[in-house]
């Protein structure tokens, strides 16, 4: 087993031993009558990112906002209950779900086989691009060019995995707790470039207009909602809901509001190593 594989598994799962420990809970530990529990409570607890606009963030009024907040609010309406958003750092998303702190994640969860071993993905509902962003003055045209640059990434994110995978051996990678800290590290000069999602460049240019650009594109991914392993009921509800929002205008509206673009014309029927239906 290589060091990169060990690192990839650790950061994908989130907060190390906490996520792994949670994954060792009985498969159906939280699964029984999940929707009945939510309805009895009167609200669904949704994990969402707290610092990553336009996906999920806490606005100036202290409320969760962004693309995933729109989708999460619509999901609560679909269930016929209220919603309580729980803002989460990247590294805390999977532990919050597997330990029962939240019922479901709408939290920029890229559909990856390692994650599918500890959480249940729904059908995909949004696409994302993972890329490297840096100064226009920096010459980075290939993966090999990353050597010699200090690269910032959010710990436990897909950016972390992709930079670790693609950067030459010996490249300095600095890991931060969240997206906001990673972006701040770049604009303050703590790192030279950052691994980010497709909206990092807009956020960085708000702080320092015109100085940065996309250097490399690592991968294009789809995000799904996540429930606990074995929770067939909530997984089925999420899938039916996602089918509905693809046709009733909710997804289109969220894309136009927050992504400033149309949704993909189609979504994949399968993702290698990931199942959309709980067993």
CA distance 219 to 137: 23
CA distance 244 to 55: 20
Task: Check residue 28 and give its pLDDT.
Answer: 41
Per the CB < 8 A criterion, the answer to whether 162 and 221 are in contact is no
Q: Which residues is 58 bridged to in the sheet? A: 64
Per the CB < 8 A criterion, the answer to whether 11 and 161 are in contact is yes
All CATH 3.40.190.10 domain ranges in the chain, comma separated: 3-127+223-259, 129-219
Query: Is the four-CA dihedral 129, 134, 135, 138 of positive or negative sign?
Result: negative
From first to last of the 279 residues of the chain, give the pLDDT tens digit.
444 434 444 444 443 333 333 434 444 445 557 999 999 999 999 999 999 999 999 999 999 999 999 999 999 999 999 999 999 999 999 999 999 999 999 999 999 999 999 999 999 999 999 999 999 999 999 999 999 999 999 999 999 999 999 999 999 999 999 999 999 999 999 999 999 999 999 999 999 999 999 999 999 999 999 999 999 999 999 999 999 999 999 999 999 999 999 999 999 999 999 999 999
Topology of domain 129-219, per CATH?
D-Maltodextrin-Binding Protein; domain 2 (3.40.190)
CA distance 7 to 121: 22
The first and second tokens of residue 182, run together, are 């990673």
Per the CB < 8 A criterion, the answer to whether 148 and 261 are in contact is no
Task: Check residue 31 and give its pLDDT.
Answer: 54
- H/E stretch holding 110 reads none
Task: Check residue 30 and give its pLDDT.
Answer: 52
Topology of domain 3-127+223-259, per CATH?
D-Maltodextrin-Binding Protein; domain 2 (3.40.190)
């Amino acid at each position: 087993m290589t060091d990169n594989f060990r690192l990839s598994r650790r950061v994908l799962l989130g907060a190390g031993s906490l996520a792994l420990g949670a994954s060792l809970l009985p498969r159906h530990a939280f699964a029984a009558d999940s929707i009945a529990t939510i309805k009895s409570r009167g609200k669904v607890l949704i994990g969402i990112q707290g610092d990553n606009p336009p996906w999920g963030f806490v606005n100036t009024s202290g409320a969760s906002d962004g693309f995933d907040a729109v989708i999460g609010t619509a999901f609560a309406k679909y269930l016929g209950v209220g919603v309580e958003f729980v803002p989460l750092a990247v590294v805390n998303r999977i532990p919050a779900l597997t330990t029962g702190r939240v019922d479901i994640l709408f939290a920029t969860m890229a559909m990856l086989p390692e994650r599918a071993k500890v959480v249940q993905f729904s059908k995909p509902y949004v696409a994302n691009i993972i890329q490297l962003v840096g100064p226009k003055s920096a010459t980075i045209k290939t993966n090999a060019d990353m050597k010699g640059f200090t690269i910032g990434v959010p710990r436990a994110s897909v950016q972390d995995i992709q930079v670790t995978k693609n950067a030459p051996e010996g490249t300095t990678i600095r890991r931060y707790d969240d997206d906001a800290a990673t972006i701040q590290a770049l604009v303050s000069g703590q790192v030279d470039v950052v691994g980010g999602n497709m909206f990092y460049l807009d956020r960085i240019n708000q702080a320092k207009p015109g100085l940065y650009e996309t250097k490399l594109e690592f991968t294009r991914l789809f995000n799904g909602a996540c429930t606990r392993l074995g929770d067939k009921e909530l997984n089925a509800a999420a899938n039916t809901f996602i089918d509905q929002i693809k046709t009733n205008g909710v997804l289109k509206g969220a894309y136009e509001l927050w992504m400033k673009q149309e949704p993909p014309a189609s979504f994949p029927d399968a993702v290698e190593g990931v199942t959309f239906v709980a067993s």
